Amino acid sequence: MKKIIILILMVLAGYNLVLSQSKKITYVSDQNSSGYYQVFIMNEDGSDKKQITDMSTDCYFPKWSPDGSKVVFNTDDGRIFFVDNVNTDKPADPYFVFGGEHPSFGTDGETIVFNSDYEGVLTIYAMSLNESEPILISDLGYSNQQVLSRDGSKIVFSSFMQGGKDVMLIDLDDTTGNNVYQISNNDNANLLPDISSDNLMIVWSAFNNNLQGTIHIYKDGKEKAISKGITSSNRPKFSPDDNKIAFVEIGESKTKFYTMDLEGGNRKSHDIKGGSAANYVWIDNERILYDAEDGKNYVVGVLNISTGKSEILTGKGSSMHPDVLN
């Protein structure tokens, strides 16, 4: 069964279909009659907002399926659900998957990768939508913050290894059992990795004992720190063309966006509307979809890194955890 799950995850990159020219966004918002955070979808310009869940609990971290027909999310009480037919007039009721958090779809759109303490330790599992039990992906200690490569053949994540938190990679093409590799090579806590679209580079944030983060990149078989000079940096992500890295600077009073090239050069800070930067994803090579908070509420917005323009897409109340269908 584990081999079947691995094969499902290894679907070719060309599978990623979109339903229209306009990109779709999913997010959660408390702007509804229940007052709980519910899952919404909208167009990339903020138009045609539609609520797709109505649950008596808060919903968090929604993620699109590759074909845009489903959205998976977790609730604040540690359950994972997905909604099917989200682009129809009547989306399906949320379907319970398993206990866990931070779910995302595999490249086939029928497998969900998530975190759970199902067997006593928080780690990474995969589960087909037509199965009732998950398959263990990482048997290392406390594995999370996983990112599936665009072609579904690799998973990068953070896990305890030899007493420290390290960035690891699982090669799903290799079914021999010797397919787990340690990427980071330092004494810091290495967190929140991302992998390039060609699977040749990995980027992450390494935190020292003072909780100050530095962006590291693994490229050409070597690890290099590339955000020196910034007090603390976090959440690095490759642009879709792999030419830039975005990250957030954790300041004393505000968290803001930076972009830089793969060597740490051409570094540029970006002001955004809405407050301090929190979660984000690249929409394309010029635009970043983000949420930001001002101490009371979150908003969802878009930053154009070329023009510097920032635009808020959501209205009153609190909206957060955006994801874009690419």
Query: What mean pLDDT comes out for the span 18-44?
Result: 88
| Predicted pLDDT of residue 21 | 55
The percentage of the chain sitting over the pLDDT mark of 70, rounded to a whole number, equals 94
pLDDT (tens digit, 9 = 90+) per residue, 147-172? 999 999 999 999 998 778 999 999 99
Query: CA-to-CA distance for 63 and 72, rounded, in angstroms?
Result: 5
pLDDT of 239 > 80? The answer is yes
Beta bridge partners of 70: 84
The DSSP symbol for 317 reads S
pLDDT of residue 14: 36
Going by C-alpha positions, the residue among 94, 98, 102, 97 that lies closest to residue 54 is 94
Closest CA to 239 of 177, 197, 272: 197
Share of the chain above pLDDT 90, in %: 86
Q: Provide the pLDDT for residue 201.
A: 98
Per-residue pLDDT reduced to its tens digit, 101-139:
999 999 999 999 999 999 999 999 999 999 999 999 999
The pLDDT tens digits of the residues spanning 221-236 come to: 999 999 999 999 999 9
Residue bearing the bigger pLDDT, 208 or 19: 208
Q: Give the length of the chain.
A: 326
pLDDT-based confidence at 4, cuts 50/70/90? very low
Instruction: Output the average pLDDT for the chain.
Output: 92
